[in-house]
Structure 1
Amino acid sequence: MHRRFVIRFFSILNQCPSVRLVSSSPQKLEQAIRAEVEAKNYVKIPDLFSVELSKSQNSNPFSFLSSFPQNLQVQIVDEMLQSFIPIRPRYKPQLAYSYLLSYTLQSSHPLPLALAVLQRTLRSGCLPIPQTQLLLSSAWLDRRCLSHSVANILLEMQSIGYHPDCGTCNYLLSSLCAVDQLVEAVNVLKGIGGAGCIPDSTSYGILIGAMCKVRRTADAQDLMKQMVVKYGLTPDHGTVVKVLAALRANKEIWKAVEIIEFLEIEGNSVGFESYELAIEGCLETREYVLAGKVAMGMTERGFIPYIKARQKIIDGLASIDEWKIACAVRQRFATLKS
């Protein structure tokens, strides 16, 4: 019985070249993929990859596509992407997406085909490898050097049957920010609307975070006000914290308090951590009256500063003879049974 099972098992393996080639050489992998492409059996391609083989893969197994005319390459890649959509689990083609994206970005005509591959990758729930950001930003900047507008480059996706979306644009934004191309990232943010992609809170969060990282606080503030006023978007807690932390680091504590007031006036809630950052900044710059004002506003939202910060506020106000304010703040803390 055991012998018959073994014979049957190896018989099945021999009928399934994809299984045998999983642990094969990189050259044989490329040959196998090419055979499936020529037979239009694209759905079998994800089964040809293995994590072990990918780690030792120096060449791209899709490099044979370069021998085909550009229009045929586009057709093949499109058919491949469409065939991957019904595959379950959705992340199964992850390695195939990764190599395909790397190939298209390094080809002689990377855009808009690479954007289509990127879109399908993201929609499958897969994240591109980190090197993708460098390749994408390089391909994008090369195209922009030819004086093409942001909207026109993105709308080129329609010529191959795809439509730009916010997820693809956000990844482009993060790629440009990752290589310190902040000016171009701002241009992309301004231009994606022309391609039918309305920026969302993630779009602004990516760029605001990048501005805060290099302490370009004025730009970060302008972007935050723009997203709230122009688009009615709500910045998430992390984005607000980044802006306030950058302002605190720059000792621009009055502007930090202005941001909090602006968000509250516009109907956006401000979290405990944001208030605490503002209070700590006030105390560091000895703006004790301002610290008291922030603390009072904080308590109105149901928050109360940490005990050490509360004591520093009272002591600081007393040190500058602001007894009336100190008493009012202490009374507020007492009312909250602190």
Structure 2
Amino acid sequence: MIGEAMCHRLVRHFFPSLNQCSSLHSASSSLQKLEQTVTAEVEAKNYVKIPDIISMELSRSQNSNPFSFLSSFPQNLQVQIVDKMLQSFIPIRPRYKPQLTYSYLLSYTLQSSHPLPLGLAILQRTLRSGCLPVPQTHVLLSSAWLDRRCLSHSVANILLEMQSIGYQPDCGTCNYILSSLCAVDQLVEAVNVLKGMGGAGCIPDSNSYSIVIGAMCKIRRTSDAQDLMKQMVVKYGLTPDHGIVVKLLAALRTNKEIWKAVEMIEFLEKEGNSVGFESYELVVEGCLARREYVLAGKVAMGMTERGFIPYIKARLKIIEGLASIDEWKIACAVRERFAKLKS
């Protein structure tokens, strides 16, 4: 006769689904126990213990959210409980310790029937703790935001709703909304948010514009990106980050709009914003690729005025290109300038 142990091995071998069912039952039981534990801590108002409990119990991925039990409470009570949790997490050190708890709270809230403004409050606390939400948050937040906007709510009004639960909208929260909208190709709405932030007291910063300009450059919407770059510099007096300037100039070069790239450099310099070597070199090479040798010489001269000098290969191409179109006077002037910089 086959022994009992052998029977168990044969059953596991030929019916693996039984093992899976067993694992699923175990996981479900574990999650149920976790929910009960978290619920007990909430009822006892021991909120500060929740991050440790969740970190220990959810070391493995779970398909369900340990905060699903909140759905059994009225909306106003959910807000009170979550608010008390968030406030209790502030003194915890290191600040990132509740990261997993923030993640589950944010995920639950953004998928609930009333995702905003509570979701924005959780997002704000997450960011202020030095943590970044999981990437899926971009999709959930964008969906919640667009649903609210479809109800004809203005950007400022949605943001100011945070005040009704004791929070103030800030630029960091708005910037994450911008990055979320850009991540799901909602650039039109991202521009609307950028324009509407000020109405909620959140003046856009350099990062706000960089997020949207960068997204536009990615799909080569250079005209809109240029307009935003000029707006941030002229209207708000902001200094664009070196990296975003390079992205815009690279997009213009890819679109074969090299004259506009040169104009952008001139605009930034005129407004008192220094342009880096990488930006100049990129535009010089773009001019050479388009055989705009006079323009390349002009940009190279501008470089030298800033103490920069093109790479030797580019310098040779500029001189040779000017000579090939009989622009000897310009070629000599450029060559002399290079020589003065001991090239």
Same fold by TM-score greater than 0.5? yes
What residue identity is the alignment partner of 1:49? I
- 1:294 match: 299
Aligned sequence identity (%): 89
- 2:152 match: 147
Quick check: 1:314 aligned with 2:319? yes
Displacement of 1:52 in angstroms is: 7.4
What residue identity is the alignment partner of 1:126? C
Displacement of 1:26 in angstroms is: 1.9
Point out where structure 2 has 5 or more consecutive residues left out of the alignment.
1-28
Three-state SS of the structure 2 residue aligned to 1:25 is: helix
Q: 1:261 to 1:145 in 2, by over 3 A?
A: same
Q: Does the CA contact (< 8 Å) of 2:34 and 2:57 recur in 1? A: no
Displacement of 1:207 in angstroms is: 0.4
What residue identity is the alignment partner of 2:290? T
TM-score normalised to structure 1 length: 0.92
Inter-partner Cα distance in structure 2 for 1:76 and 1:51 = 22
Inter-partner Cα distance in structure 2 for 1:51 and 1:241 = 45
Aligned residue among 156, 161, 166 for 2:166 = 161
Displacement of 1:249 in angstroms is: 0.2
Quick check: 1:324 aligned with 2:315? no
- 2:4 match: none
Inter-partner Cα distance in structure 1 for 2:156 and 2:194 = 10
Indicate the larger mover: 105-114 or 50-59. Answer: 50-59
Q: Deviations over 1:99-130 (max 9, x none)?
A: 00000000000000000000000000000000
What residue identity is the alignment partner of 1:277? L
Displacement of 1:49 in angstroms is: 2.0
Aligned residue among 76, 80, 93 for 2:81 = 76
Quick check: 1:222 aligned with 2:227? yes
Matches within 5 A, 1:180-191: 180-191=185-196
Inter-partner Cα distance in structure 1 for 2:271 and 2:59 = 51
- 2:8 match: none
Displacement of 1:28 in angstroms is: 1.5
- 1:262 match: 267
- 2:37 match: 32
Three-state SS of the structure 2 residue aligned to 1:234 is: coil
What residue identity is the alignment partner of 1:142? D
Displacement of 1:51 in angstroms is: 6.9
Three-state SS of the structure 2 residue aligned to 1:268 is: coil
Q: Does the CA contact (< 8 Å) of 2:51 and 2:101 recur in 1? A: yes
Aligned residue among 206, 209, 213 for 1:204 = 209
> What's the C-alpha RMSD, in Å, of the aligned pairs?
1.0
Displacement of 1:74 in angstroms is: 0.3
Matches within 5 A, 1:63-102: 63-102=68-107
- 2:108 match: 103
Aligned residue among 118, 135, 138 for 1:130 = 135
Point out where structure 1 has 5 or more consecutive residues left out of the alignment.
1-23
Inter-partner Cα distance in structure 2 for 1:225 and 1:119 = 29
TM-score normalised to structure 2 length: 0.91
Aligned residue among 41, 52, 63 for 1:47 = 52
Q: 1:257 to 1:186 in 2, by over 3 A?
A: same
Q: Deviations over 1:236-290 (max 9, x none)?
A: 1001000000000001000000000000000000000000011011001100000
Inter-partner Cα distance in structure 1 for 2:150 and 2:40 = 38
